[in-house]
Amino acid sequence: MSAHLINISIGPVQPFIAAARRTRDLWFGSRLLSEICMETARSVKDSGGELIFPQEDSLNVSDGVDPNVANVILAELPDGDPAKVVSQAREKALSVLKDYGDQVLGEYGELVNRDLWDDQIEQALEFFAVWVPYGSEDYLVARDKVGRLMGARKNCRDFVQLADPESRQIEKSSLDGRSESVLKDRESVEELLERNPMWKLRLRLKSTEALDALGLIKRGGNPSVMRAKDEFPSVEHFAAKPWMDRVEKEAPEEFRRLKKAQGEAGGISLSDVVFPFRIAQVQEETGRDLNAVKMALNGLVKRIGEPDPYLAVLKADGDKMGAAISSIKTPEGHRTFSSELASFATKAHGIVGKHGGKCIYAGGDDVLAFLPLNSCLECARELADAFNGSFVKSVVSDTPTLSVGIAVGHFLEPLEDLLKFADEAEAKAKGTDRNGLAVVVRSRGNAPIGFRKRWDSTVADLTVDKRLRLWARLFDEEVISSRFPYELRSMEGFYGNWKDQSSIKEAIPADVFSVLGKKRSVGGDSKEVADELKAIVETITSVENLKELVSELLVARHLGPVMEVKS
């Protein structure tokens, strides 16, 4: 039997990952899809396939580490029946999902309408597979052919007969608004949750919420590598982390009292109760008595102030990846490239964790993570540098780069909106010339403020991230006034109508210096900072430069209050 090239694609990505109302839903959906893809790839390998994507080392996951396997599998099959290999791989993929389903049913089965559940589990996966015969001499031709066949296969939709429509519930899942809820009627669910308070704490199921089968698995599933049912941190955690780090350092006794009260309440995380306006809602959701927590928190707020309710959502994507893959001509070259991608994904988890954040996924050239504001810029720079240095063996020219978008949003924004903001920031970062960093601030009740520059662009020898960090620190230390960017904005119209263009290059920097002198607060700054400010201002020689500076300052001002609190 001749050799074959097999291509498998697993999805759908939207229900598995993007359909989410809590960070737990988002993280577990991503992890579940990655684990399904990992076990599918392992099945292909065990059936005699030689993996190209993903790299074989990606199949070896240590305890406590999430798998990082993308949803596309490419493998050579030197011998054997590709139809049989694919069939076995599909059965393995479905068995992973069913195992998690059985786990959830074992714990929360009383909540579930089993007829709807079984139907949804059977139809949850999209599993597409194509293969072509090939010899080692025409790998590129075969890879192009399976790519075109996969595109055609995805355009051929499967129509599956579902259960009797009259027996199906009308209520839809709160996560995607499309699939039917598998939960029993609301009255029965409320009664069961009251009888089982730990279910209520674990699922955080609101009275108005309905979940489909995937949604309940994402909310209640427990990976075997998870330690004692750890939970993915909430958005509140990432917003509150700089404040918690600060109070632990500046008010250790009061902070210990707060943690003691939170621990005695049971079933809640510390970040759930550090925002004063959230305590009543958390008490209602969990049924816990939080009076002691409230008293301990009030003392800290009087001394330190309230935590900033904003966090960063980072989304990154590799640039020129298609060109890089196409430039590689052999399976061995693609295996090296795949290995380098897997290595970066592992590094990305470590980098994000080092900066106090958590990855939702870091698969190949894609990264999605939640971060505290005080470390998002440093994290973005480290990710970009790590990515840029990843392809030293496989790509000989036009090395891929990483565009990073950072959305700054309030933790009370719906999760789907925060993700949408991150999508927009990533698109802005890519721009038309790629290799960019974009930060978009979405403060509640105000229009978005965004700023974007290429990673390799400099002003006064300072890269974009270094400038933002400099301005943020100066705002935080009150070296410059918060009114400074608004004063500069008022100059835009004036210079936009400036008639003597020959003198504008000198007039704008002079005016900026004048405003900066007025808006610098008492206390001054070091000579090094003064020299950096002078060098930056001297580059503001056009209205366009002035507008960019205003955007840069407005973005940095929102990072300022917590920028120097280290994780």
On whether both 377 and 499 belong to a single domain, the answer is no
Length of the chain: 567
The residue among 304, 320, 341 that closes a domain is 304
- Specify which of 248-262, 390-404, 519-533 reaches the highest per-range mean pLDDT: 248-262
On whether both 156 and 38 belong to a single domain, the answer is yes
On whether both 281 and 323 belong to a single domain, the answer is no
Q: Per-residue pLDDT tens for 58-114?
A: 898 766 678 889 999 999 999 999 999 999 999 999 999 999 999 999 999 999 999
On whether both 70 and 216 belong to a single domain, the answer is yes
On whether both 358 and 395 belong to a single domain, the answer is yes
3-state secondary structure of 318: strand
The residue among 457, 490, 514 that closes a domain is 457
| H-run or E-run covering 29 | helix 23-46
Q: Which residues of 340-368 are buried (b: 16+ CB within 10 A; e: fewer)?
A: bbbbbbebbbebbeebbbbbbbbbbbbbb
Does the pLDDT value for residue 227 go beyond 50? no
Please give the pLDDT value at position 563: 38
Separation of alpha carbons 27 and 221, rounded Å: 11
Please give the pLDDT value at position 163: 57
Domain that holds residue 396: 309-457
Q: Which two tokens stand for residue 264?
A: 């005695």
Lowest-confidence segment of 132-141, 184-193, 407-416, 528-537 by average pLDDT? 132-141
CATH label of the domain that carries residue 334: 3.30.70.270
On whether both 287 and 377 belong to a single domain, the answer is no
| 168 confidence band (pLDDT: 50, 70, 90) | low
On whether both 251 and 283 belong to a single domain, the answer is yes
Please give the pLDDT value at position 175: 87
Does the pLDDT value for residue 1 go beyond 90? no
Q: How far is CA 162 from CA 12, 121, 179, 184, 276, in A?
A: 18, 12, 12, 19, 48
On whether both 251 and 323 belong to a single domain, the answer is no
With CA atoms as reference, report the closest residue to 24 among 208, 231, 175: 231
Does the pLDDT value for residue 390 go beyond 80? yes
In a domain, 495, yes or no: yes
On whether both 194 and 56 belong to a single domain, the answer is yes
Residue recorded with tokens 């790629």: 434
In a domain, 230, yes or no: no
pTM given for the model: 0.93
Please give the pLDDT value at position 24: 92
On whether both 197 and 323 belong to a single domain, the answer is no
In a domain, 229, yes or no: no
CB contact set of 507 (below 8 Å; sequence gap of 6+):
495, 498
On whether both 375 and 498 belong to a single domain, the answer is no
CATH label of the domain that carries residue 138: 3.30.70.2220
SS3 letters for 220-245?
A: HCCCCCCCCCCCCCCHHHHHHHHHHH
Strand order in the sheet with 126-133: 50-53, 72-77, 4-11, 126-133
In a domain, 564, yes or no: no
The residue among 304, 327, 360 that closes a domain is 304
| Total domains present in the chain | 4
| 516 confidence band (pLDDT: 50, 70, 90) | confident
Q: Label the pairing between strands 458-459 and 449-454.
A: unpaired
Please give the pLDDT value at position 436: 98
Does the pLDDT value for residue 129 go beyond 70? yes
Q: Exposed, middle or buried by CB within 10 Å (0-12, 13-18, 19+), for 390?
A: buried
In a domain, 228, yes or no: no
On whether both 431 and 521 belong to a single domain, the answer is no
Please give the pLDDT value at position 162: 58
In a domain, 567, yes or no: no
Does the pLDDT value for residue 160 go beyond 70? no
pLDDT > 90: what percent of the chain? 69
Q: Which two tokens stand for residue 368?
A: 């999605």
Please give the pLDDT value at position 522: 44
Does the pLDDT value for residue 286 go beyond 50? yes
Q: Average pLDDT, whole number, for the chain? A: 90
In a domain, 507, yes or no: yes
List the Cα angle 340/345/350 in 5-degree steps.
Answer: 125
Q: Which residues of 206-240 are buried (b: 16+ CB within 10 A; e: fewer)?
A: eeebbbbbbbbbbbbbebeebeeeeebbbbbbbbb
Q: How far is CA 427 from CA 399, 423, 458, in A?
A: 20, 6, 21
In a domain, 500, yes or no: yes
